[in-house]
Structure 1
Amino acid sequence: MTRRFPLSLGGRSNRWARLLAALGSGVALGLSATTATAEPLYPWPDPDPFYSAPTDLAAHQPGDVLNARPLPPLPVFPGASVTLVQFRSSNSNGVPIAATTTVVTPAGHRPDAPLLSYQHFINALGTGCAVSHLLYSGDTNLLATVPMLNAVLAQGWSVALPDHLGPYFALGAARLGGHIVLDGVRAVKRMPELAAQNSRVVLAGYSGGGLASGWAAALQPTYAPELELAGAAVGGTPMNMETMADVLGFEPHPAFGLAMAAAIGLEREYPNRLPVSTYLNERGHEIGNAMANSCTAEILSIGTGGSAREFMNGDSIIDFDAARVILRENSLALYDGAPRTPVFEWHSPTDSLIPLDAIDQTNRRWCAAGVPVQTLQVPPSDHLTGAVLGAPEVLMWMEGRVRGEPAPSTC
């Protein structure tokens, strides 16, 4: 097991009285059922009609392909072809949704060569932040993953890059991400032209992408039992949303923009249970509207140094239980199911943005369930650097899984 690095929470006697946000993957703005509701801050629809859901969406099964089209070649993936795939998935309540994944197929692709579903961390709220858009905009964060993806493309693997926040970009709705990842893999396998019907599948992702990958692995036995996974690599993963909220608290924080964005995202997924917009003051609505269609850099800039105290109505009554239930529903550490595929987990021991004890708790629980879990602590680094430092080990581990080698374990 990995060594533990407990987070000091300052001995708070009533932690829920002081929290607002969970960075990157979960957040809670407290709510009262006594105030009139306001419309959630949904994103503008993508102007490209390809992303619109078909009228017969409910007639399709999860993973059914709804639409597909080729995209222009990308210089960052020399010689590869790019295909945008729309498929049917389900939101957190099981309601049909249309989701998308971008599939990169290398030149000379062999039928049924391995498939990597790579979940990029998408800390965003706008439809313009879809991976299929960011690939062509030169997004710095996305391009940082290109060396790793090119390494597997060079071996003949296909790569799928799902938009795991869903059509409303519901940042923070982590279970939703698990559904979309699994249905995206189903869709790729159902497209004869992608030649992946019998491909061995591995999942990987970091930060919010690690959370989507972890949820997909944990949900697969019940949500997609027919789908075989060779392994799942999850890095820098915020496993417990409650603890994330504790870590950030209610005071000004340099990354408050992402916390605010996650509150908006969760309202999009749970509009009746978490009506965040109802409890924002005038300044809060200004900030929320400014963020509602933004990508990561803009969100961070807009919210720098902010706190919930600035943006909530002063007389708002916080319903701790309503917020906590939703946070727990999206906390992988608290989900009682476990993957049935091997897991590789990595993080930095000095990562100050995620609850490290929640990672160890999850690893121990999965080990106890019989999951082969290999853990790696990369050299001390900040949150994002940990993704790069772990990439070589992740690549070697994934290669072993698609070759069918026995999975190593540090349980």
Structure 2
Amino acid sequence: MRARATGRTAVGSAVAAAILAVATALAPVLLPGAATAATGADAFFTYSGSKPLSDYPPGSVLKTRTIPYSLAGIPTPLAVRQIVFRSTDQRGRAVAAVTSVIKPLGGSTAKVISYQSFYDSLNPEDGPSRAIAGGTNPGGLAAHFETAMMASFLLQGFALVIPDTEGPTADFAAGPEYGRVTLDSLRAAFRATGTGIAPGARAGLIGYSGGAIATNWASVLAPSYAPGINRRLVGAAEGGVLVRPSANLPYVDGSLVWAGVAPMAIVGVSRAFGIDLQPYLSDYGKQVHTRMQKASITQVLGAYPGLTWKKLVKPAYADPASIPIFVSTVNKLNLGVRPNPTVPMFIGQGTRGELEGTSGSKPGLGAGDGVMIAGDVRTLARKYCAAGVRVVHREYALSHFTSVALWLPQATTWLTARFGTTPAPTNCSTIKAGNPLTPLKAV
């Protein structure tokens, strides 16, 4: 038994190293401005059954397949069970979503990690499940870096569940939809056969940046939307956290690197909620809107230096709060007015956004990591603490990208420990006061 376990570990280590090596070799196509490669549509990801999706309860397994984990079409020894399942989009409609379960190296396991990717794209073909199946879209290839980031869990015998959190239409930044897809992904992974997940398995959530959107919303929605899943969660670890989009918009306004993410998020949220932006956009804003329709974050970062809200809209809408539908929508995405999770939380956040060209001195906002606001994250953590949630909150004097190097080992170590019997630690008493998370008021 010991020899076989050692062999599996060696194979797993080799596979993880291969994933990292190939992902590094593919790095040039992940740079900002990279063009999107054409890929043929995979019929597996589309539901074509005769029964209406709305007739299935959320998390129902619609179809499955087992494939090798592929790196740009190159198969590896890792086995993946892909699942198409029923979920719910931002407007409450039944949709077919997809997740990938990387099967545990040591056979059956009762420990599951749900990893929420930061693929951040308006193109459904950039979802991690497509990349894992051999897709070569540059916007989706970050999934391979992320699998390497999670290799420590695979080497310990965990199953790794990776949902395409943005749903079938890539509704970028639509937090509640991310959360529901994540929870339904776990429902489906626990129900499907051939995953290597044992009955009664427990799960932990983890994600950074766009993955933190899904992780936080899943933890918040689980008690009401998926109580059965909530009872099986051991904790949630996240970093680079989006709390209050109405504040992030002015925070990145004019940034050298992150300004282009604002229109990308606006397009994603308007798509999710079914909002027509055309009446509010300037001629330039309409051009940007058109270019964004299938953009990934790899094409947007650094591509719109100094872009401001005022350049995107007509003069009458220079203040976003003058648009009623904007006000009502961003307030629905404010985690500060949503219920609290019931599971332990690890929350990491950078504070030196100046390193990525974002000012940290805007009134009422303060420091951030370049795209997420540290003061908002502090207040959210304190809110959870006040509700009795055991929270570990960490800040890093680094930017959004550079904070990952410190966040990742802390988050994975913390989450691994949640599967044991040691009570979750907390540093609630030392978290500094942050920004008020009050909803945006219309003007």
Is TM (by shorter chain) over 0.5? yes
| Matches of 2:75 and 2:385, distance apart in 1 | 37
* Matched residue, 2:307: 306
Q: What does residue 244 of structure 1 align with?
A: 248
Aligned-residue CA RMSD (Å)? 2.4
TM-superposed CA distance for 1:302, in Å, is: 4.9
Instruction: Determine the structure 1 residue equivalent to 2:425.
Output: 408
1:333–1:359: 8 Å Cα contact kept in structure 2? no
Deviations 1:194-252 (A, max 9, x none): 13232110000011211210110011110001112111001110111121123134x47
Residue in structure 2 matched with residue 21 of structure 1 by the alignment: none
Distance 1:158 1:346 in 2: 24
Q: Secondary structure at the match of 1:374?
A: strand
**Aligned residue among 94, 107, 121 for 1:96:** 94
SS in 1 for 2:289: helix
Name stretches of at least 5 consecutive residues in structure 1 with no aligned partner: 1-43
Partner SS state of residue 200, structure 1: strand
Q: 2:86 is aligned with what amino acid?
A: R
Shift of 1:409: 1.1
| Residue number among 372, 384, 395 corresponding to 1:377 in the alignment | 395
Q: Is the 8 A contact 1:79 1:106 kept in 2?
A: no
Task: Give the 3-state SS of the residue equivalent to 1:103 in structure 2.
Answer: strand
Matched, 1:192 2:210: no
Q: Which residue of 2 aligns with 1:290?
A: 291
Partner of 2:358: none
Residue from 238, 257, 266 that aligns with 1:263:
266
| Residue of 66, 69, 85 corresponding to 2:65 | 69
2:380 corresponds to which letter in structure 1?
T
- C-alpha distance 252-309 of structure 1, shift in aligned 2 (>3 A): farther
Q: 1:278 to 1:258 in 2, by over 3 A?
A: same
Matches of 1:162 and 1:291 in 2, distance apart?
A: 23
Q: Secondary structure at the match of 2:418?
A: helix
Q: Structure with the greater relative contact order (CA < 8 A, sep ≥ 6): 1 or 2?
A: 1
Structure 2, unmatched stretches of 5+, are: 1-37, 353-368, 429-443
For the pair 1:121 / 2:118, whether they are aligned, the reply is yes
Q: 1:315 to 1:390 in 2, by over 3 A?
A: closer
Secondary structure in 1 matching 2:183: helix
| Letter aligned with residue 241 of structure 1 | P
Shift of 1:387: 1.9
Query: Which residue does the alignment assign to 1:29?
Result: none
CA distance in 2, matches of 1:155, 1:295: 32
State the alpha-carbon separation in 2 of the partners of residues 45 and 57 from structure 1: 26
SS at match of 1:284: helix
In the other structure, the counterpart of 2:130 is 133
Distance (whole Å) between structure 1 residues aligned to residue 67 and residue 304 of structure 2: 34
Q: Residue 351 of structure 2 aligns to a residue in which SS? A: coil
Aligned partner of residue 299 in structure 2, secondary structure: helix
Mapped to 1, the partners of 2:92 and 2:173 lie a distance apart of: 17
Q: Distance in 2 between matches of 1:45 and 1:164?
A: 20
Structure 2 residue 165 is the aligned partner of structure 1 residue 164: yes
* Aligned residues of 2:256 and 2:302 also touching (Cα < 8 A): no
2:375 to 341, 357, 367: 357
- The answer (yes or no) to whether the contact 1:189–1:195 under 8 Å persists in 2 is no
After TM superposition, the structure 1 stretch with the greater mean CA deviation from structure 2, 381-390 or 132-141, is: 132-141
State the distance in 1 between where 2:75 and 2:190 align: 21
State the partner residue of 1:13: none
Q: Give the corresponding residue for 2:10.
A: none
- Counterparts of 2:217 and 2:295, CA distance in 1: 25
User: Quick one: distance in 2 between partners of 1:315 and 1:381?
Assistant: 37
Decide which of 305, 326, 330 is 1:327's aligned counterpart. 330
The 3-state SS of whatever aligns with 1:226 is helix
Any idea what SS the aligned residue of 1:198 has? strand
Look up the match of 1:345: 347
Rounded Cα–Cα distance in structure 2 between residues aligned with 1:288 and 1:46: 25
User: 2:412 maps to what in 1?
Assistant: 395
